[in-house]
Amino acid sequence: MIYHVFANRSNIGDWLSARGIQALLEPLRVRECLCDEPFVPETLARLSAAGRDDLVIIGGGGLFMDYFAPFWEGFREVARRVPFCLWGVGYCDLKREPSRAPAALLREIISIARVCVVRDQLTRDHLPGCGLDAPVPCPSVVTIERPSAPGYGLLHVDNYTTAGEDAYETMDACAQRFARETGRPYRQTNNRIPPEGEGALAAVLQRYAEADLVVSSALHGCVIAAAMGRPVLAVSGDHKIESFMEAAGLREWVCDIGDVDDLPERLAALRSQPSVLDFVEQARAGNRRVAAQVMALATSAR
């Protein structure tokens, strides 16, 4: 049995990350387990039934956030006897409050993983001495297709929790004004959908496809925009956003939540953003290499 643990299906970033992993593992089938806090007891009970001939794949997403510490605490016992891999996982490192899971706990888990590939340099830097290989960007890029049509509109992707009220209100006002002045339709999403919402997921992705510019305070707003070839201006209340944008060669297209007054000028220049499609292709290739490692383990475990 191959178990695949990821956070949830209601945040499209988490779900797309999981779908990317599963797509790369085809034709192998997995049993999904969720590790958002309400699901932890059920998931740990399922994993406790796993044995040495099974394989647990955990990822992607920000599973090194303190919110997920109860899962990691409970998983320790399983980890000592069941082969497992960590793929596409990383820290959430909020600027306004502590958010990283205990490093000692994560080091213990990483030390016995058969494969561990984190999603960004931020995570690697916070876990020195763990022997982590070079990061590979989020596996969600595997399942996000670049639209054939160019699109025309401004999409505001908000993470109210990380941006905060003041930054959110400024982003919303500036984005609406810019859209109005340039004759663009204005749309908004928080990347949240009902669980099991295949149609809702497609509808949110369509909003990205219909835009030609994106402004986002959510990491996966940046990831999806980049994968679709849409210029994106990031507003960061979480250091993971800088880490992704720097890896993509877009570090100068990040505004800190304290610098949102610069948004009008930054939006006006956004169409000149360089293409990152080479980065996206490299990210896809990197995830295919991880998949080959994981599939080799899965095949040997069967």
Written as one string, the DSSP assignment of 171-228 is: HHHHHHHHHHHHT--EEEE-SB--TT-HHHHHHHHHHHHH-SEEEESSHHHHHHHHHT
pTM assigned to the model: 0.96
Superfamily of domain 154-276: Glycogen Phosphorylase B; (3.40.50.2000)
State how far the alpha carbon of 147 is from the alpha carbons of 23, 138, 186, 209, 224, in Å. 19, 19, 19, 6, 11
CB 72 within 8 A of CB 85: no
pLDDT tens for the chain, 302 residues long, are: 999 999 999 999 999 999 999 999 999 999 999 999 999 999 999 999 999 999 999 999 999 999 999 999 999 999 999 999 999 999 999 999 999 999 999 999 999 999 999 999 999 999 999 999 999 999 999 999 999 999 999 999 999 999 999 999 999 999 999 999 999 999 999 999 997 778 999 999 999 999 999 999 999 999 999 999 999 999 999 999 999 999 999 999 999 999 998 999 999 999 999 999 999 999 999 999 999 999 999 987 66
Task: Name the nearest CA neighbour of 237 among 158, 176, 138.
Answer: 158
CB 21 within 8 A of CB 3: no
Q: Do domains 2-141+282-301 and 154-276 have the same CATH topology?
A: yes
Expressed in angstroms, the distance from the first to the final Cα of the chain is 8
Give the pLDDT confidence score for residue 289 in this predicted structure. 98
Q: Where are the domains of the chain?
A: 2-141+282-301, 154-276
State how far the alpha carbon of 114 is from the alpha carbons of 32, 61, 80, in Å. 19, 19, 11
In CATH terms, 2-141+282-301 corresponds, of 3.40.50, 3.30.67, 1.10.30, 3.40.630, to: 3.40.50
CA distance linking residue 295 with residue 287, whole number of Å? 12
